Amino acid sequence: MSATPNIRVIDNTLERNGGLVWNRLRSEREDICEALLKDWAPGHEAPAAGRMSNEAAMHAADWHRELLHARLRKIDDALDRLMAGSYGNCSSCGRWIEDTKLDFDPAIAFCIDCWQRVQIKH
């Protein structure tokens, strides 16, 4: 272990559960990147496009891409927190996020109280 506290925290995080979390986040990130690349492939048509008007199909494709990009940002942020040693702590107040919530979604950035405050603002 290094004498630098930040390195030690990162090492401990990755040793405990961080490796599993890292792999889960990286795997989901790869899946999203593949989906985004597939969307940009020439001649690619969304599965439901045959049943929709051209405008509705384009809107659905844009909406899907926006969701994928938003999820990708959340995953990248979670990976950054994991490497910085702050993974599992609320990005707003610093309190620990419940393990059950992190197990459900390892990219969660806020505790329930802060998440509710964010939802009210939007």
Tens-place pLDDT, residues 3-57: 444 433 444 445 556 789 999 999 999 999 999 998 776 655 555 555 668 888 7
Identify whether residues 68 and 101 lie together within a single domain: no
**Residues 59-83 pLDDT 10s:** 888 999 999 999 999 999 999 999 9
Identify whether residues 13 and 34 lie together within a single domain: yes
**How many CA atoms lie within 13 Å of 42's alpha carbon, on the beta-carbon side?**
0
Tell me the pTM: 0.73
Record the tokens describing residue 82, joined without a space. 């994991």
Identify whether residues 73 and 94 lie together within a single domain: no
Our count of domains for the chain comes to 2
Q: Which domain holds residue 69?
A: 1-87
What does the DSSP assignment read for 102-115?
A: HHH-TT--S-HHHH
Instruction: Report the SS3 class of residue 32.
Output: helix
DSSP annotation of 54: H
Identify whether residues 12 and 63 lie together within a single domain: yes
Which are the contacts of 112, defined by CB distance < 8 A and separation ≥ 6?
A: 98, 101
106 vs 56, higher pLDDT? 106
Identify whether residues 94 and 77 lie together within a single domain: no
